[in-house]
Structure 1
Amino acid sequence: MKASARNQLFGKVTDIRTGAVTVEVTIGLKGGDTLVSSITIESAQSLGIKNGDEVLALIKAPFITVVKDFGGYRLSARNQLKGTVKRIEKGAVNSEVVIELAGGDSVAGIITNESVESMGLREGDTASAVFKAGSVILGVKA
């Protein structure tokens, strides 16, 4: 499959929680990290998602917030994947920051050059890719 979403993570469904309107799907990644996707009940039924299924999680890079230091704050975003800054590619206005996770997966975020500088973000730093569960699109093999 080809997709425009920069982040394409494969994992296994470890939990499904159905609410009134949405379904929360927890996915285990190969390095032990987990991510959560919030999709509509209709989408979950259409995809036929069940525990143990292999899924593809798609997250667009602009939906990723890069956090170097939480400063004692907790965030409402369910997904907070901690890793090592593998690469920072600066553009005219924005930078692509690639964070390598424990299992070898990478997550790329697009942030402003000003943010890179104000955080003092450098390759090799520890940082987290933070994103809301509603930003995660799921795919399954047909």
Structure 2
Amino acid sequence: MKISARNSFEGTISALSSGPVSAEVEISTAGGDKLVATITQGSVQTLGLAVGKPVVALVKASNVMVMTDGSGVKLSARNCLTGTVKKLAQGPVSAEVIIALPGGAEIFASITRDATTELGIKEGVAATAVIKASSVIIGVKN
């Protein structure tokens, strides 16, 4: 499968909480990271999702926000993954930030160049990737 989403996390479903319209799916990766996705009940049924099932979680880099000082901040976003900025590639308008997580995974974020300056983003700085659960797409292998 070739896909334009820069972030791809293989893992297994560690929790599944269903409601009448949507479901919350928790995915645990081999590196110990957890991602939460909210998807429709129709998708749960179509994909045959259940606890223990292997899945792939996809997130576009443009759906990843970056935070450098989260002390005292509470967010509604379910996914806050903290690591270290591994690479910063600056363009004239936007920048790509790669955050290395402690478990070995990397998260790609596409943010504005001005934001990198305002947040003090540079290689080696601690940073948190913030991803809304509704931005996580789940796939299964046939």
User: TM-score normalized by structure 2?
Assistant: 0.97
* Structure 1 residue runs without a partner (length 5+): none
| One-letter amino acid matched to 1:120 | G
* Equivalence map 1:81-92=2 (5 Å): 81-92=81-92
* Equivalence map 1:1-142=2 (5 Å): 1-142=1-142
- 2-side partners of 1:133 and 1:109: how far apart? 16
SS of the equivalent of 1:43 reads helix
What's the offset of the Cα at 1:100? 0.8
Q: Identity of paired residues, percent?
A: 46
CA offsets, 1:99-121, max 9 Å, x none? 01111111111111111001111
- 2-side partners of 1:120 and 1:105: how far apart? 22
What's the offset of the Cα at 1:71? 4.0
* Structure 2 residue runs without a partner (length 5+): none
Q: How many residues were matched structurally?
A: 142
What's the offset of the Cα at 1:133? 0.4
| One-letter amino acid matched to 2:138 | L
- 2-side partners of 1:135 and 1:122: how far apart? 25
What's the offset of the Cα at 1:33? 1.6
CA offsets, 1:41-63, max 9 Å, x none? 00110000111111100000010
Moved over 2 A (4+): none
The RMSD of aligned alpha carbons is 0.8
What's the offset of the Cα at 1:135? 0.3
